[in-house]
Structure 1
Amino acid sequence: MDVMLDLERLKQARTSLGSAVESFKGASSFNNDLERAVAEPDDRSSLRRKVSDFESDWNGRRGDLTEMLEEIHKGIDTIITEWDRWDTETAAELEPTGTVR
């Protein structure tokens, strides 16, 4: 049975997932900045309240999604690490230990 593994694509996925996780973690402060920037145009707070409501609703979902992305990232990282370890060990076992003449 042959196992084909595209390590470059896995490494790209790991990098992309890491970036996504960091973006999700930083989104909360961005939304707080947005809420402050909206302020109360024309002395009305309805837009600011909607931004705040959106942030509150999305905050829990974002946390759940962040956890899932972190688990996937960890899984891909483990696959890459263990494949590299296995590949190195197998290559060492296949190398001749000495020459017989």
Structure 2
Amino acid sequence: MEVDRQSATLLYRAAQELLSNVYKFAQASAVTVRLGCVTHGMTHGVQLKVTDNGGGFDAPAAMTGRHTGMGLRLMRLAVDLAGGEVMIDSSAAAGTCVTITLPLD
């Protein structure tokens, strides 16, 4: 599978934003970054997953504007416009996992 330039740039910028947030806010001692191909039936995609063991955050508040930062909201908007999906799982006890999936087809 080949990733087009626009999707590659979007994934790069998303990784930058997510790693910056881990560094600035998570107080994590470990972070994992994974990039891979995914298949759902006949649809192919590329997936970026960033996981940390930090303190977690209120994901719904970050996405609806109740936090002061714009990074996650702008990232989600860009991914949505590309036909992709952002999933965030965050808790104080387990850290945060952000998964971005972009279609390749």
Q: TM-score, normalised by structure 2?
A: 0.33
- Bigger-Rg structure (1/2): 1
> Which protein has greater RCO, CA pairs closer than 8 Å, 6+ apart?
1
Query: Higher helix proportion, which one?
Result: 1
Q: TM-score, normalised by structure 1?
A: 0.34
Query: Higher strand proportion, which one?
Result: 2
